[in-house]
Amino acid sequence: MDKAKFFAGLRSRESGVFGTSLSQPQVEGVARIVDEGQSRGMQLRQLAYVLATAYHETGAKMQPVREAGGEKYLRSKPYYPWVGEGLVQVTWEANARKFGASAPGQLMEWPVATRAIFDGMSKGMFTGKRLADYIAGDRVDYVGARRIVNGMDKASLIAGHAKAFETALRAAGYVGQAPEALPTPQPAPPAAVQPAPAMSPASAAPAVPEPPVAGAQVGSTPPQSGASWFARLIFAFLNIFRKGA
């Protein structure tokens, strides 16, 4: 998307929004909303209507705002201290908590304010009506779409703003880009089991000595040639002993 062309379109006299110039807070606010819409993959005309709603609800400031009125006036409201705040004037504690606010004032912060306007309009969290009920594909009902937020209050005026934002978005080549899906973690493969080293037949089992031959007697075999004279003497005595026995 060419944001230079987009803002040039908004500054043109024919657009009908912002006059012929935008303040820095207006530029920053519009850019935040466009970036959020693009990251959500929002259709061009739906984003145009979100921008038009923020333009109307914030009095063209394009920044989160607090409900107008002095403290005495606001204290008279049945929903005080959860007075209207954000890019859409969210009132009542239960409503504010739907969008992640845990205390009054948090809808003045961009992350919560952005979530409120996008989730509220996309999911029907304000009135039960959703963007897709009025703007989807080739079907566009900018006037009826006001029911998403607040009945038919200023419906035609906001519809005109939506057309201006639509024209600027088209000139800039806006394309919604759905966020990339995070990869599903895969379990690590099991560690390879190393086979035990093969054992040679000789080392597979300890050698077992062979049993002696039955009937064999110690000293019954004469010493081999080259044996010592002492061995020969012992052998001679043993033979004499056997003969005497």
Any idea what the CATH number is for the domain that residue 118 is in? 1.10.530
- Predicted confidence at residue 194, as pLDDT, reads 63
For residue 177, tell me if it sits in a domain.
no
Bigger pLDDT: 57 vs 242: 57
For residue 28, tell me if it sits in a domain.
yes
Q: Look at residue 215 and tell me whether its pLDDT is greater than 50.
A: no
Write the CB contacts of 199 (distance below 8 Å, at least 6 apart in sequence). none
Q: What are the pLDDT digits (tens) for 3-27?
A: 999 999 999 989 999 988 999 999 9
Residue pair 80/107 in contact (Cβ under 8 Å)? The answer is no
Q: Which residue shows structure tokens 């966020």?
A: 179
- List, in sequence order, every beta strand (DSSP E) within the chain: 65-66, 85-86, 135-136, 139-140
Q: What are the pLDDT digits (tens) for 22-68?
A: 999 999 999 999 999 999 999 999 999 999 999 999 999 999 999 99
The total of structural domains in the chain comes to 1
Residue pair 31/40 in contact (Cβ under 8 Å)? The answer is no
Based on DSSP, count helices (H) and strands (E) in the chain, helices before strands.
Answer: 9, 4
Q: Count of residues for the chain?
A: 245
For residue 8, what are the CA distances in angstroms to 5, 44, 200? 5, 18, 85
Bigger pLDDT: 234 vs 5: 5
- Predicted confidence at residue 176, as pLDDT, reads 80
Residue pair 33/54 in contact (Cβ under 8 Å)? The answer is yes
For residue 110, tell me if it sits in a domain.
yes
For residue 79, what are the CA distances in angstroms to 53, 91, 95? 23, 7, 10
Integer Rg of the chain from CA: 46
The pair of structure tokens assigned to 233 is 């003497």
Q: What are the pLDDT digits (tens) for 95-130?
A: 999 999 999 999 999 999 999 999 999 999 999 999
Query: For the purposes of burial, counting CB atoms within 10 Å of the CB of 21, is it exposed (0-12), middle (13-18) or buried (19 or more)?
Result: exposed
Q: Look at residue 240 and tell me whether its pLDDT is greater than 80.
A: no
For residue 72, tell me if it sits in a domain.
yes
Domain interval for residue 26: 3-172
- Predicted confidence at residue 214, as pLDDT, reads 45
For residue 146, tell me if it sits in a domain.
yes
Q: What are the pLDDT digits (tens) for 133-184?
A: 999 988 999 999 999 999 999 999 999 999 999 999 999 999 886 555 545 5
Among 227, 213, 27, 41, residue whose Cα is nearest residue 131? 41
Spatial separation of the C-alpha atoms in residues 55 and 167, rounded to whole Å:
15
Query: For the purposes of burial, counting CB atoms within 10 Å of the CB of 133, is it exposed (0-12), middle (13-18) or buried (19 or more)?
Result: middle
Which band of pLDDT confidence, cut at 50, 70 and 90, is reported for residue 218? very low
The amino acid present at 113, given as its one-letter code, is A
